[in-house]
């Protein structure tokens, strides 16, 4: 199971999966990650395509279109479940930090 293997998602993983809530090709994914993170996270082609390959193998995303070298992807239901669990984990971390930091 991918969740056991990955345990938690890195920031690039999290943002790539967010970007794939809509069908996108590799270049569009990289641009969307930068847009979602307001420029804080930039994912290069090497990282992006390595993660996409990992996500495909774990059935977290699926390939939707191939036009020459251009491939498009979208998140699967399983991928959404993992993304939602990660979101909940991050929210819990925020709440715990908030309590201890007195924010």
- Per residue in 5-18, pLDDT (tens digit) is 666 899 999 999 99
Output the pTM of the full model: 0.89
**Where does the pLDDT of residue 1 fall: very low under 50, low under 70, confident under 90, or very high at 90 and above?**
very low
Q: Where are the domains of the chain?
A: 2-97
- At 64, which helix (H) or strand (E)? strand 61-67
Query: In this structure, what are the phi and psi dihedrals at residue 60, rounded to the nearest 5 degrees?
Result: -85, -25
Q: Which residues contact 11 (CB under 8 A, 6 or more apart)?
A: 37, 41
Query: In this structure, what are the phi and psi dihedrals at residue 102, rounded to the nearest 5 degrees?
Result: 70, 35
Does the domain spanning 2-97 belong to CATH 1.20.1630.10? Answer: no
- pLDDT score of 4 more than 70: no
Contact status, residue 30 vs residue 20, Cβ threshold 8 Å? no
């Amino acid at each position: 199971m991918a969740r056991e293997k990955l345990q938690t998602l890195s920031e690039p993983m999290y943002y790539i999966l967010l970007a794939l809530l809509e069908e996108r090709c590799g270049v569009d994914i990289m641009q969307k990650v930068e847009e979602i993170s307001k420029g804080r996270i930039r994912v290069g082609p090497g990282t992006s395509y390595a993660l996409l390959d990992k996500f495909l193998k774990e059935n977290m995303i699926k390939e939707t279109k191939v036009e020459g070298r251009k491939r498009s992807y979208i998140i699967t239901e399983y991928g959404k479940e993992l993304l939602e669990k990660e979101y909940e984990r991050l929210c819990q971390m925020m709440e715990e930090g908030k309590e201890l930091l007195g924010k």
